[in-house]
Every structure is written in C-alpha cells, then in structure tokens.
Amino acid sequence: MTKNLIQPLESYRLAQYAWPVPCYICESENTFDAEFCTRCSAPMALAHQTSAQQTAPHMISVIGPSGVGKTVYLGMLVDMLSRMSNDMQLLARGAFSITLQQTTIAALSRCRFPEKTSNEPDRWNWVHCQIRRARQKQPSELIIPDLAGEALLEEIDHPGSYRVIRAVLKKSSGAMILVDAAKLQEGRRDHDFFTMKLISYLNELDELPKRKKCARPLALVMTKADRVEQCLDDPQQFAMTHATGLWQQCQERFRSSRFFAATVAGACAWRESHSEGRCQIPLRVEPHGIVEPFLWILEQLKIKPPNGRK
C-alpha cells in the first residue's frame, strides 16, 4: 500500500544552511544542523540555546586527574541542586543536560560508580542549566562540562590536542579543581603534581603580566574525604599539611582560592565479578560538602541576572 505524503516546501531551511552558526565554546562556524562543532566537538545545542538569550551564560569548569571523581561530583551536584527547593534550585535546559545526572544517579543508587568518561569529546556530557536563587528575581545561566581526566592530561602535556578543553578553560569564569584526599594523605604526589600543572595551565591561558594574580575564583575540592577524617574536619589545615606545594601555588597565583572537602560514598568495598573483574563500589551514598564549593564560586562570581538587574 502506498502512502501519500505531503512534503512541505522547506525553503527556509536553505536560508538557515547559508547562515553559519558559531560554536558557543570555540566560536568557529558550523552549519545549522550540525550536532557537534566540527572544530572542537562541543554540542551545538549550546549554541542554539544561548543564541536566544540576551547575555551569555557563565561557564564553570570542573577539572582534575582521571579517577578523582569529577563525573560523580558533578552528577551529584546537579541532582542535589535540582532537588533543593528553598534557597536555590537548578533547572536543566535541554534533554542533553539531564544525561549526566541520570547516568550518575542510576549508577549510585545501584551501589556502583558511573563508567569512566570517554576521551572522545563528542561523548562528553554537558550541563546547561538555570540557577534560581531566593534573593534573585531573574535566574542565572550556567554551563558546566564533564571533561575526561585523561584528555585534560593530554592537553596539558601537548597543548592543542584537545581544542575544546583549551576553549572551555579559557571561557570559564570560575574553576573547581578536584584532588583525591586519600591519595594526598598516602603521600602520593602524582595528583598533587597534576593539579599544579592544571593551575599553571590556567594561569597561562589568562595571559596575565608577571606578578599579577588570576582573578577567576578557584575552589579546590578534596574528594573521597570519607576516608580521611582530618580532611573532613578541617580541609584548609589538611591542604596546608598534605599539599603544601599546591597550597602555595594557589596563594601566589589566584586572588581568591579556597579548599573544600567533599564525599559522596559513605564507605567503599571491592567487587569481584566474573564479567567486570575487580572494581570499587560504594556501600552507601551520603553526600557531604558537594554544594558548598559551588555556592562559594557563585558568591565569588557575584553572578547577576541575565538582563543585568539585581
């Protein structure tokens, strides 16, 4: 049986094809129907959503070494903020912004950690959201990407290998650097060095004259603090004792920086499985210190409503 279909004349689409759409992250030109930017692989949905707004959204980057817990932290942060109702609320803009929250929460509720973020930028999760605060009449807009740790390391060691990372970090108004508190306590310096590299990289991007401090706020979040009681009790003191180099770098290079302790899993164990081998699993989920660094960054940025009114 044949079906008669009426094809509308979509000549307006041709006009849209002719008009290039700049990527929100790297600002290179793309066609109207491109899903990802051809240059940096950032989702073009960000460009479409932000083009309709009067002011550009702020960007906050959550960075750190591989396995430090960036995806868990970000997914948990988004979920907690979206479930808060009094002072602050987060509303995701676009279905793609919910994917990170969905995968993280689905995994954690089953006592698993989410899968490692792929190194391919077109498979990264991006959160574009609206922040509504009790004191502000107008909501503010934020974009937070979930970058892969290994890709970050690659970009730092070989600049230009991941253009999207360079573009994101350059555009970010504030940054959260995640450090593994348990590894700091063990005295393993690899995370410490990686974080110092990240700080130097951020400084280079700002292209500041010598002796001038970076203006963007930097929150250093020490994750997996449930295993380090001292870190939960006093994160500043813990950082001064166990990450002295990092502490000094922050003091010297950033105008406002602060250390925080965060934890998602109350306790962890090792799961031995025939199919997946040996992997770490959370025995329960008890988030602590997740929202505080984010609120501090917002406070430092003094994010104003989109139209500039308070």
Q: Which residues bind other proteins (CB under 8 A)?
A: 106, 108-111, 266-267, 269-275, 281, 283-288
Taking the complex as a whole, how short is the minimal distance between the CB of residue 266 and other proteins, in angstroms? Answer: 7
Taking the complex as a whole, how short is the minimal distance between the CB of residue 89 and other proteins, in angstroms? Answer: 14
Q: Smaller CB distance to other proteins: residue 67 or 305? A: 67
CB 253 within 8 A of CB 214: yes
Q: Smaller CB distance to other proteins: residue 197 or 288? A: 288
Query: DSSP letters of 28-67?
Result: -EE-TT-SB-TTT--BTHHHHHHHTSSSPPEEEEEE-STT
The DSSP bridge pattern shows strands 174-180 and 218-223 to be parallel
Taking the complex as a whole, how short is the minimal distance between the CB of residue 305 and other proteins, in angstroms? Answer: 27
Taking the complex as a whole, how short is the minimal distance between the CB of residue 114 and other proteins, in angstroms? Answer: 13
Q: Smaller CB distance to other proteins: residue 207 or 272? A: 272
Q: Smaller CB distance to other proteins: residue 48 or 284? A: 284
DSSP run (H or E) holding 76: helix 70-83
Number of separate helices (H) and strands (E) present in the chain: 12, 11
Q: Smaller CB distance to other proteins: residue 13 or 284? A: 284
Going by C-alpha positions, the residue among 126, 160, 112 that lies closest to residue 43 is 126
Q: Smaller CB distance to other proteins: residue 39 or 227? A: 227
CB 83 within 8 A of CB 130: no
Taking the complex as a whole, how short is the minimal distance between the CB of residue 129 and other proteins, in angstroms? Answer: 20
Taking the complex as a whole, how short is the minimal distance between the CB of residue 167 and other proteins, in angstroms? Answer: 34
Angle at 42 between CA 39 and CA 43, to 5 degrees: 125
